[in-house]
Amino acid sequence: MKRRSWGLVFRNAAEGVVYGLRTQRNVRVHTGAAFLMCAAGVFFGISKMEWLFVLTAIFLVLVTELMNTAVEAAVDLAEPNIHPLAKAAKDTAAGAVLLAAVFAVIVGCIVFAKPVLRWLGLS
């Protein structure tokens, strides 16, 4: 078996990210939210430790969204009809995205609560 070059490996991975952005509304929504959170982090001058948590949450959501997209595509290819196991696979992958998104919201609340309240003059 011929090994693929590193350049081809990275190009294929980038094509996967682009596919997710082009075809999946939720990937675009979460990417938009990620940009807003990064802008908020810059605006409020969050610490390095806070950046680590925010970026971890952002990438966790985006990674799970892309994995969900991969699971859905593979399941649809293998079983185009509605099947209980196909539904379970898709629902479980979507559940992983939900948990990642809840984690991201919790991180956002912890990191941004004080700066936002201070900015609003409520603290």
Q: 47-56, 57-66, 78-87, 113-122: which has the minimum mean pLDDT?
A: 78-87
Residue 16 near residue 66 (C-beta atoms within 8 A): yes
Active-site option among 15, 65, 72, 79: 65
Instruction: Please indicate whether residue 50 is annotated as part of the active site.
Output: no
> Could you tell me the pLDDT band of residue 40, with boundaries at 50, 70 and 90?
very high
Mean pLDDT, range 6-29, rounded to an integer: 96
pLDDT of residue 1: 74
User: Which CATH code is given to the segment(s) 6-119?
Assistant: 1.10.287.3610
Residue 33 near residue 26 (C-beta atoms within 8 A): no
Q: For the chain, what percent of residues have pLDDT higher than 70?
A: 100
pLDDT of residue 2: 77
